[in-house]
Amino acid sequence: MLNVALPKGRLGEKVYAMFEAAGYECPSIKENNRKLIFENAEKGVRYFWVKPSDVSIYVERGAADIGVAGKDILLEYSPDVYELLDLNLGKCRMAVAAPKNFYDDGDRTLRVATKFCSIASDYYAGLGRDIDIIKLNGSIEIAPILGLSDVIVDIVETGTTLKENDLEVVSVILPISARLIANKSSFKFNSESIEKIMRSIKEQVDKK
């Protein structure tokens, strides 16, 4: 039985459609209920919905053999997993944003509000810039407005939220997209089925 951790939400639904097209369908997943685990014994596959930021934990710890996680999460937590495929889904950018007309004169420690402490630290360490990280769990955009921070490091999809809060992208750290990941140990013992899924999903990605 292959255990697949899917991220809850729209991205997860798109990913499931790819698994379905790869021949690993599980019709019960489309029933409108609150169940989180769905199994198709005949196809030897079990799906479960988890919080997107938790997918890599399930996979790293072997509760899921494979899963789909955003590159942001993989960079932030560096789980010891295989990153098999870029799904080209859920595309966005990890960026530094600041109030319009913000100018960093480099004179004092830069206050950075973010959910992604590790990515932000690595980025500014690369620039040799001294920063003060302020870890927030949501509504990051209001931090510079209220004077809590000078800039934010966050995911930017369309930029609408930034615009509505009078912020703009100052620099792009890196592009983000969803990745197919696998537990390193499970990959050794289920390589045939994981490779089969991988090949089929890659064909679908390449076609788009």
Instruction: Count residues binding another protein (CB under 8 A).
Output: 19
Residue pair 6/49 in contact by the 8 Å Cβ criterion: yes
Q: Which is nearer to another protein, 20 or 83 (CB)?
A: 83
Q: Positive or negative, the Cα torsion across 204, 194, 77, 12?
A: positive
CA–CA separation, 26 and 42 (whole Å): 10
CA–CA separation, 168 and 102 (whole Å): 9
| Residue 188 interacts with another protein (CB under 8 A): yes or no | yes
Q: Which is nearer to another protein, 47 or 187 (CB)?
A: 187
Please, what is the minimum distance in Å from the beta carbon of residue 166 to another protein?
33
Part of the chain binding another protein (CB under 8 A), chosen from 28-36, 53-61, 112-120, 161-169: 53-61
Part of the chain binding another protein (CB under 8 A), chosen from 8-16, 29-37, 84-92, 157-165: 84-92
Strands 2-7 and 45-50: parallel
CA–CA separation, 208 and 115 (whole Å): 31
Please, what is the minimum distance in Å from the beta carbon of residue 176 to another protein?
12
3 state SS of 122: helix
Chain residues in the site for another protein (CB under 8 A): 57, 60-62, 78, 80-86, 183-186, 188-189, 191
